[in-house]
Amino acid sequence: MAGKSAIEWTHATWNPVTGCTKISRGCANCYAERIAERFRGIKGHPYEQGFDLRLWPSRLSQPLRWKSPRRIFVNSMSDLFHQDIPREFIAQVFDMMEDADWHIYQILTKRSSLMRNFVNDRYRGTWAPPHIWFGVSVEDRSVLSRMRHLRETAASVRFISAEPLLGALGEINLTGIHWVIVGGESGHGCRPIEVEWAQEIRDQCLKAGVAFFFKQWGGIRPTSGGHLLDGREWQEYPHIEAVQLALWDNDGEIHGKEPANHLAARAAY
């Protein structure tokens, strides 16, 4: 678990699973694979197996060691809903997130239907706790179905990561979405992002009242192109307290409708 993450929209990373396999265009230049494969074959190194999938039961309790609240990116070096991860192990990850509930957990997947099915089964008839945020990667229009799967997920907080953004998304349905992250690709062979693609998403977020976070333009290094869009920073987060108020009434009973988009905050959480 990283004590401090270089990823701008989180504080730390927690990797009870490492390794993954490619499933779409966004995976082509995977930064996690690039990091892990550097150490393949080095005896005793955490990435001795490279980017092959590996479960780490010994890491399950790591969030308990951090007493101060922070945002934690879950499985920054994998995908929690990879089809080869046993459901029982995913359930243990959720048990820990529910126990160490003073943190915010940010789960990002490309296996959106598997996430939807797991979450809806676990929280049948209710909503997932608002300190667990669920997101999907949407790099181009070919994977917009992931947004539909996300909206069908019994999540209190939903987010989209359009990073790397590889094409214009056009008009998107932001109903039930609380946060959108946009960023360009970095590293050797990085594919370019166009200003208009980012502006189009930003403008739709502003209209819908959805928190918008522009991470980077990308380049050889993540910081090569800077992170200003139209001359300013965009680093908004969903307002978790407002989401909680929308979900629960004074008696602690959960409402039947999901939180509205206007609950997105304009200040960092």
pLDDT tens digit string along 197-211? 999 999 999 999 999
175: in domain: yes
Q: What percent of the chain has pLDDT over 90?
A: 84
Number of folded domains that form the chain: 1
State the pLDDT at residue 242: 56
Helix axis angle, 87-99 to 112-122, nearest 10°: 60
Examine the pLDDT at 253 and tell me if it is beyond 60.
Answer: no
90: in domain: yes
23: in domain: yes
74: in domain: yes
Domain range holding 35?
Answer: 12-263
238: in domain: yes
217: in domain: yes
pLDDT tens digit string along 120-179? 999 999 999 999 999 999 999 999 999 999 999 999 999 999 999 999 999 999 999 999
State the pLDDT at residue 239: 81
pLDDT band at 221 (very low <50, low <70, confident <90, very high): confident
1: in domain: no
pLDDT tens digit string along 2-44? 557 889 999 999 999 999 999 999 999 999 999 999 999 999 9
pLDDT tens digit string along 72-88? 999 999 999 999 999 99
257: in domain: yes
Let me know: does 141 contact 169? Beta carbons within 8 Å: yes
Q: Is the peptide bond before 16 cis (omega within 30 degrees of 0)?
A: no
